[in-house]
Amino acid sequence: MMDILTTWLFLAFVVERVTELVLDMFPGIREWYEKAPDLLALALSILLAFGAGLDFFGMFGIPFSIPYVGIILSGFCMSGGTKLVHDIIEWVAGKQKELKEDYYM
């Protein structure tokens, strides 16, 4: 069970970092369409799920009669986790900045 959670967190982290990198490289994307970051994260998550053959539902013994549904839904689940990972990274960065400011004052 821990391996599944670790895999999910790692891949959500990868998707979050790649999404942020692409958005930094092309800053106009956010102005073009406000949901672009979410769509990019979803597309990357599904791509990674297919590439890794990641099917969380299959891991839990929940088969689907339609091929690849489990992989696609796993990509959706993973893209939802990118927001959590992003929030954690932002919180840690804020705490680090706060500690540095307190240290140098």
Q: Where are the alpha helices (DSSP H) in 33-68?
A: 36-52, 56-59
Q: Which domain holds residue 81?
A: 2-104
- Taking the complete model, does pTM exceed 0.85, yes or no? no
Q: Which two tokens stand for residue 60?
A: 């839990």
Mean pLDDT in the chain? 83
Q: Report pLDDT digits (tens) over 4-18.
A: 778 877 888 889 889
CA distance 35 to 41: 10
How many domains, in total, are found in the chain? 1
**Are the beta carbons of 12 and 5 closer than 8 angstroms?**
no
**Are the beta carbons of 36 and 30 closer than 8 angstroms?**
yes
